[in-house]
Structure 1
Amino acid sequence: MTAATERKEYPISMRLPEADVAMIDRAASLRGRSRTDFVRDAAVRAAEEVVMENRLIRMTPEGFAGFMEVLSRPALPVPEMVELAKRPAPWEPGYIAKR
């Protein structure tokens, strides 16, 4: 008698409108991926985001007080961000694309 092997992959079946499939296929093609790979990666990425958004962070009262103290400090300018904010946006006059 053979031992039962643990299943490593599970099929998922979906019914989608033609327009959705066409959009997925176009995006997958632009990434050089198969539809299956593209949908799997997108679904896993979305699932990870939801899990991380709902993750509970625990800390001691002292740790929380320290965290709040750091958040309460005045923000320091980041020179690169200041420079970036001063540049005109691509749709604004004066924009010059850097190559």
Structure 2
Amino acid sequence: MPRTGKRKEHPLSMRLPETDIAIIDRAATLRGRSRTDFVRDAAVRAAEDVLMETVPIRMSPAGFKAFMAALSGPASPVPQMIELFQRTAPWETGGSDTGG
């Protein structure tokens, strides 16, 4: 009997070294995900990143003029960034030495 609906999922097969599988499995476990879910999400995120890098940004001439004016204008401090850079780094807090 023929299928009445279109198949929504497509198989994807890869050959990976054991070391890669071990890393993927460890990360998937830490996230509470299956290997398949973890790899699918990572691959889709990477693909979206590539696509976002290549998508042209379109704007009106007036919008472009305002954008260029904002870039060309004087910099103004961002209070949250100032506070962040004034914090002591975690490795500079003088915590206990656990090294060997």
Aligned pair count? 95
Per the alignment, residue 10 of structure 1 pairs with 10
Higher relative contact order at CA 8 Å, sep ≥6: structure 1 or structure 2? 2
Call closer, same or farther: CA 1:31–1:67 in 2, change over 3 Å. same
Cα deviation for residue 31 of structure 1 reads: 0.4
Within a 5 Å distance, the mapping from 1:40-55 to structure 2 comes to 40-55=40-55
Per the alignment, residue 98 of structure 2 pairs with none
Per the alignment, residue 28 of structure 1 pairs with 28
Per the alignment, residue 72 of structure 1 pairs with 72
Cα deviation for residue 84 of structure 1 reads: 1.2
Unaligned ranges ≥5, structure 1: none
Unaligned ranges ≥5, structure 2: 96-100
Cα RMSD for the two superposed structures: 2.0
Question: In terms of mean alpha carbon deviation, does 6-15 or 67-76 score higher?
Answer: 67-76
TM-score normalized by the length of structure 2: 0.84
Question: In terms of mean alpha carbon deviation, does 56-65 or 82-91 score higher?
Answer: 56-65
Per the alignment, residue 38 of structure 1 pairs with 38
Cα deviation for residue 81 of structure 1 reads: 1.4
- Using the aligned pairs only, state the percent identity: 66
State the SS of the aligned residue for 1:68. helix
Runs of 4 or more, structure 1, over 6 Å off, are none
TM-score normalized by the length of structure 1: 0.85
Per the alignment, residue 91 of structure 1 pairs with 91
Cα deviation for residue 61 of structure 1 reads: 2.7
What CA distance in whole angstroms lies between the structure 1 residues aligned with 2:12 and 2:48? 18
What CA distance in whole angstroms lies between the structure 2 residues aligned with 1:9 and 1:3? 14
